[in-house]
Amino acid sequence: MKFIVTDDIFAKVPDMYIGVVVAHNVDNHKDYPEIDALLKKYMTAAQRKFANVNVKQRAEIIPYREAFQKIGINPNRFPCSAEALFKRLAKGKELPSINPLVDLNNAISLKYTVPMGTHNIDHANDDIMMRTAQPNDKFVPLGKDEIETPNEGEVVYAVGNEVRTRRWTWRQSEYGKITANTSDVFFPIDGFADINQAAVDQASADLQTQLQRIFHVETQSGVVDRQHPVFEWK
């Protein structure tokens, strides 16, 4: 299976740098106190770090807002997932526990201030792509059942014509949702080569360590950038 970012996206955001982690045979049914502790630790740290600040003006967030504008997304209406997380925490709110894989994803995202996705690939028959939306694409918002049609030209994560996230890292879909039964999972960690490459690399390494330590599974990892737009795994 492959993760592919198309050339037209790199033409608009040439410094895009995406870390990729893939894990197989995960047991997501059990309770993992280690993950609960990690989420609590980094949620508390983020609440302190972002308390009483304008999140969208933080140095860690500005590059994502600028990149959204480059690809035609209004970041005020459709903030990236990391900005949305930190806005919530800046108001003193907490993140709910969803399930172990999602909670681990959120903990690592909070620790390194990078947007991360978590995608179920148990039954994926097509490659995962970051590309512009096509006329036959469909999207179902999390927690809902009505099908949306993304705007043509909108940047999405997709498997075949099933859109996994709309507006790059804004909102995830019911397609590819992580559940207790999820076994195989794909994590993209979105960043920029000239700004926060180190944070992306650290988040990738940390995520792999935690997946191996807590779930006792093997992982594969790689990077997608303009010079290497495809990452393939078994």
Q: In this structure, what CATH number is given to the domain that contains residue 90? A: 3.50.40.10
pLDDT at position 82 is: 92
Mean pLDDT of all residues belonging to the chain: 96
Cβ neighbours of residue 174 closer than 8 Å, sequence gap 6 or more: 140, 141, 142, 143, 144, 145
Tens-place pLDDT, residues 151-202? 989 999 999 999 999 999 999 999 999 999 999 999 999 999 999 999 999 9
- Maximum Cα interatomic distance, the chain, rounded to a whole number of Å: 45
Which of the 8 DSSP states describes residue 44?
H
- List all residues 6 or more positions away from 110 whose beta carbon is below 8 Å from its beta carbon: 39, 42, 43, 45, 46, 85, 86, 89
| CA distances in angstroms from 25 to 40, 111, 112, 214, listed in the order given | 26, 25, 26, 13
Cα–Cα–Cα angle for 156, 161, 166, rounded to 5 degrees: 25
State which residues form the domain around 52: 2-232
Checking if the pLDDT of 215 tops 90, the result is yes
Per the structure, the count of domains in the chain is 1
Split at pLDDT 50, 70, 90, the class of 134 is very high
Any idea how long the chain is?
234
> How far is the C-alpha of 7 from the C-alpha of 31, rounded, in Å?
41
pLDDT at 52 over 90: no
User: Predicted confidence band at 234 (pLDDT cuts at 50, 70, 90)?
Assistant: confident
- DSSP secondary structure letter of residue 215: I
